[in-house]
Amino acid sequence: MLKALPRHYSKRLPVLIDPGPIDGLPGWRQAHLFEVGSTNEELKAYAKSGHDADRLWLTAGEQKTGKGRRGRNWLSPPGNFHGSVFLRDPCDQQHLGFLPLICAVAVHQAIAALLKHQPHLVEIKWPNDVLVNGAKCCGMLIEADHSNTHIQVIIGCGINLIAHPDDTPYPATDFKTLGMDIAPSHVLHHLASSLDAVLAQWNRGKANQPILDYWTTHARGIGDQTIINLADRQIEGVCEGINSQGFLLLREPSGRLNEISAGDVFYPHMTK
């Protein structure tokens, strides 16, 4: 999902952020903080204070006030991966709605690389949840502001490495549960490399089709009975994939085809 950044970013001063280069990725930088409220919020404050935040990854050992979609709390204990990246003008405004699919593909590629012996276990649930062995292991929050000269996007990503929440409406998991010991610093390089490659392939919205093809190939739920919670109602039907804009296509029992731009997707066989 794509969420609008507040018109006025936080006016408080950011904590000290000291970026350094990311090996093998020219133009990308990284910084790490021991503890933050939210990596998204710290990047907003850093950019607001006049610093160049473009292509800067900020990671943290622990988040105290991490948020997911629709303001939900996101479990962020030490040992899991917590990171955000700032992008300036990644595309024209008309292509912003495609960013959730870009993020899904990039994170899927990164996690599949980490699970190099079992990449087939990694799937995408619309629009950008990443599943491992049918359970959610990753959450993303994408925020965008295009009210000024530049389009500014912050992508927050949390990956369950050693712990996962139990109070979710569908199954969740973590890498430790799957028998894997992965350090957050190892995750960052895979994520940064994947995002760099996918953004280059997408070419600011000029090459949607390869992204759509990859997303569809690795999607969970196409052809399955699907429940979608919208802001004001719930609808059910069969998922027929996505259209050229990345909207989910849901065929209702009446035969009507809905194009869904935003909503929470559930597959009855996945719910607890």
| Residues 74 and 91 placed together within one structural domain of the fold | yes
Query: Are 235 and 121 in the same domain?
Result: no
One digit per residue, the tens of pLDDT, for the chain of length 272 reads 555 554 444 444 456 788 999 999 999 999 999 988 899 999 999 999 999 999 999 999 988 865 555 555 556 678 999 999 999 999 999 999 999 999 999 999 999 999 887 888 999 999 999 999 999 999 899 999 987 789 999 999 999 999 998 877 778 999 999 899 999 999 999 999 999 999 999 999 999 999 999 999 999 999 999 999 998 899 999 999 999 999 999 999 999 999 999 999 998 866 55
22 lies in some domain: yes
- For residues 121 and 240, membership in a common domain is answered with no
* Model pLDDT, residue 129: 93
**What is the SS3 string spanning the chain?**
CEEECCCCCCCCCCCCCCCEECCCCCCCEEEEEEEECCHHHHHHHHHHCCCCCCCEEEEEEEECCCECHHHCECCCCECEEEEEEEEECCCCHHHHHHHHHHHHHHHHHHHHHHCCCCHHHEEEECCCEEEECCEEEEEEEEEEECCCCCCEEEEEEEECCCCCCCCCCCCECCCCCCCCCCCHHHHHHHHHHHHHHHHHHHCCCCCHHHHHHHHHHCECCCCCEEEEECCCCEEEEEEEEECCCCCEEEECCCCCEEEECCCEEECCCCCC
Query: 272 lies in a domain?
Result: no
User: Are both 259 and 154 inside the same structural domain?
Assistant: no
32 falls within a domain: yes
CATH of the domain at 230: 2.30.30.100
Q: Are residues 101 and 68 in the same domain?
A: yes
Do 175 and 213 belong to one domain?
yes
Q: Do 81 and 183 have their domain in common?
A: yes
Q: What is the CATH number of the domain that holds 72?
A: 3.30.930.10
pLDDT of residue 16: 74
Q: What is the pLDDT of residue 19?
A: 94
Its domain, for residue 28, covers: 2-217
Q: Is 13 inside a domain boundary?
A: yes
161-199, pLDDT tens digit by residue?
999 988 777 789 999 998 999 999 999 999 999 999 999
- Domain co-membership, 206 together with 181: yes
Quick one: 172 and 236 in the same domain?
A: no
Specify if 162 maps to a domain: yes
Q: Based on the structure, what is the number of domains in the chain?
A: 2
Pair (20, 106) in one structural domain = yes
- State whether 206 and 233 are in the same domain: no
In a domain, 271, yes or no: no
**pLDDT tens digit string along 69-103?**
555 555 667 899 999 999 999 999 999 999 999 99
- What is the predicted pLDDT for the residue at 10? 44
Domain assignment present for residue 129? The answer is yes
Q: Does residue 114 belong to any structural domain of this protein? A: yes
236 with 181, same domain? no
* Average confidence score pLDDT of the chain: 89
User: Residue 231 has what pLDDT?
Assistant: 86
